Amino acid sequence: MFRLLKPFQHVSRGTSPLISSRWFSQRSYALQLSSQSLSRKIPTKVPKTSRQTNPQILRRTKRSRWVKKDMLLESLQKESKIQPVTTVTSCEKYDFQGILDNPPLEGIHQLVPDEILYFKYQDEYDILILENGTIVAWGLHEESTEADILPLFKEFMVFKYDFPESEDMDFLETSSPEHPTQVIAETFIINTANKDQSILEKAAFSSALSRSTRLAILENALERHILQTRKVTEGLSNGKRLTVTEKELLRSTGRLFLLRGKLNLYSELIEIPDLYWSEPNLEAIYKAVSAVLDISPRISILNKKLDYATDESRALLQTLNEEKGTRLEWIIIYLIMIEVCFETFHFYERYVDYRDRDKE
């Protein structure tokens, strides 16, 4: 450093220009090398907000797709009007054989054997009756469905629910080959170019919609159970004794096992029906509607709630058994005390007789 500073000082005082140019050339060369090394070792930092990360790219891609779908939906709305599709689950199942033997209306026939019945209501509305206790009315509002369609099949209901469940969605019909059947922004697009195929696609939509209402039946049944047991657990937390009987707790546990069985064992709520395995397009429709209605998360949450409710019921039953065991222990103690009292009295009687004989 000192050797480099001296030429600079001499130059400033009027030293030879040869030394001055040589020093400046060396100095500029050194600065050039240092700048190159810095440019290699210290990369330029890009602010985080300007980085093109993969999640941001994916979100931007999804937003662009949503915009395109919204524009497509707007264009389709100009061609045809939005209509309602109403799904009502009011019983455990429908008696298909009874409906076919004594049809309340003409034109009722099997669309899918032993699973779906179909008929045209007032020559305008497509009505599908599912064996699992669900009716799906395409083009009718909930009020019209409950007032006009459900009473026709009331006598064919098996194990009618006290609290039916319904689901309302929107759909559009188009005959353009450019717009296949799909789901856009929670609206069903039905391509009616092929009438028979459109009916099958409506059947796939209907099966997925019935999945939601049947799941809602189980969800509400569990909520009612939780409200009933909440008072008992709140009483325990306040130090009160159990006010329910063992029979009631066993009945409550049985209801929970039945709900779990209806969800996981006795129905196809957690899996895709066999009907759609051989039809990829119908299976895609079924999955798309299930995704829109959040079926998988709802099933997962319901199973977790059932786990907690079952554990709670078992804990209450165990507490009741412990109280019962404690009560039995006290009864045994009281019986032993009574037996001791009787033996003490007999011993006293024998002692008095022995004393009297000695006096004689």
* Cα–Cα distance measured from residue 103 to residue 101, given in angstroms and rounded to the nearest whole number: 6
* Cα–Cα distance measured from residue 214 to residue 206, given in angstroms and rounded to the nearest whole number: 12
pTM of this prediction exceeds 0.75 = no
DSSP bridge pairs for 187 = 170, 184
DSSP strands (E only) in 9-133: 83-94, 109-112, 116-121, 125-130
Q: Give long-range contacts, CB 8 A cutoff, 24+ apart: 56-59.
A: none
- How much is the mean pLDDT over the chain? 81
Q: Give residue 6's pLDDT.
A: 39
**pLDDT higher than 50, residue 18:** no
Reported confidence tier of residue 240, pLDDT bands at 50, 70, 90 = confident
Q: Each residue of 331-341: pLDDT tens digit?
A: 999 999 999 99
Question: What DSSP letter does each residue of 225-292 carry, written as one string?
Answer: HHHHHHHHHHHHHTTPPP-S-HHHHHHHHHHHHHHHHHHHTSSSTTS--GGGTT-HHHHHHHHHHHHH
Task: Give residue for tokens 């209801």.
Answer: 255
Q: Give residue 73's pLDDT.
A: 67
Average pLDDT of the segment spanning 307-314: 91
CA dihedral sign of residues 251, 296, 275, 149: positive
Task: Give residue for tokens 């003409």.
Answer: 106
Residue 164 in 3-state DSSP? strand
Question: What DSSP letter does each residue of 143-156 carry, written as one string?
Answer: HHIIIIIGGGGGGG
Q: Each residue of 188-220: pLDDT tens digit?
A: 999 999 999 999 999 999 999 999 999 999 999
